[in-house]
Amino acid sequence: MTLACLVTPEPATLPVRFACGRSVRVGRHHKRGIHHETPQFPAGPRRAVRRPDFQRLAAGRTNASPAVTFHRRSSKCRRCVDTVFHACHHRTYEDAAVIGHPVEHSKSPRIHNVALAKLGLDYAYMVFDIDEGELPQLVAAFKTLKVRGWNLTTPDKHGILKLVDKVSPVSELVEAANTVVNDDGVLTAYTTDGIGQVQSLHDAGIEVAGRTITQMGCGGAGSAIAAQFIEDGVKELNIYNRRDEFFEPAKALAERINARGKGKVVVRDLADVAAFRKSVKASSILINTTSVGFAQQEGHSALPDEAVLRPDLFISEIVYSPARTTFIEQAEKAGCKSINGIGMLVHQAAASFKMWTGENMPVADIKRLLFS
């Protein structure tokens, strides 16, 4: 799993010594958080600790150094986490974190640290790669240290629900969470992927309330988006998924949503092209929540029939890399307005950021600095 901490340090620098023998001092000067500091590493190999590269934050500023990233690669390095927890035990600052494995693909550290730097908040965002089975121990440590909150990635989004005190309506529906907020020891689980998607559509001038939507895919992000759509007033949601490992869970999710009576959700096989055409014809939004178009599937599209596209159909894509997917190209060719997944990515992070810090993330700046 992955751990990233937002830290507001005391005036004195904080010495951190790792079990592998390496040490680093981090601290603040003139009310600056340790996300502004450049850790000073002693000579020698850097296997347990590394500082990631980050882009220039603003004109004239190159010393971003927003975080120290800790990767657990051996049993010796695993003790680094306990050492950091021990070092942090005497601090008077707040923390937040992200948990999951693997984490190399995560954009969260860059997004959160640039936001913290832009707002001048006295926090740092620190990342750890930790074994899955340590989630209960880690949550207990977070509560002891009064960590303000944390994010979760696979595979811990489901297991966290057994370790919190409260669960948001959307997280209850999807039986998973990607955000936890700690209010004086009371842990509440939330899911922000759907919030990010709805806000991204809002930025494009699209409100989801009262609409009929067709959605391709219903995996982790797709489930959260589906539940949030209904929570925010979508009248009817037609989900099309391949008959893979996500198909039956999608049907179970639809049953839970429909039992609440807020909106109607239907799940069908994506191979049923005739039904898909009918659903899209009745919809004003078509969204792809599959991973088709990303990484190894770049250049492909989940769309089973390009003929369903029409100029008044709004297209939403949750894939953010590449920014211009084959699905987006198909939409533009048909004259459809569309958005890619960058907005959702930033807005889902902004939702967690707001819960922890009480501040609005500078979304426009994040998009410009990290994704232009």
Tally Cβ neighbours within 10 Å of residue 69. Answer: 18
Q: Nearest CA to 152 among 108, 102, 99?
A: 99
Active-site position among 157, 281, 333, 367: 157
d(CA 104, CA 332) in angstroms, rounded, equals 32
- In the sheet with 49-50, reading across from the earlier edge strand, the strands are 2-6, 125-129, 69-71, 49-50
The Cα 172–Cα 228 span in angstroms is 11
Please, is 322 exposed, middle or buried when counting C-beta atoms within 10 Å of its C-beta (0-12, 13-18, 19+)? middle
**What is the amino acid identity at position 93?**
Y
Q: How far is CA 115 from the centre of its chain?
A: 15
Residue 207, Cβ density class (10 Å: 0-12 exposed, 13-18 middle, ≥19 buried): exposed
Coil, strand or helix: which one is 106?
coil
Q: How far apart are CA 146 and CA 148, in angstroms?
A: 6
Helices (H), 21-134: 75-88, 108-119
Instruction: Please list the helix, strand and coil fractions of the chain in percent, rounded to the nearest 5, in that order.
Output: 40, 20, 45
Query: Could you give phi then psi for residue 189, rounded to 5 degrees?
Result: -100, 135
- Catalytic: 157? yes
Are 362 and 347 a contacting pair, CB within 8 Å?
no
Give CA–CA dist 159/138, Å, rounded.
Answer: 12
Tokens of 267: 């799940």
Please state, in angstroms and rounded to a whole number, the distance separating the CA atoms of residues 96 and 342: 23
What is the set of active-site residues? 157
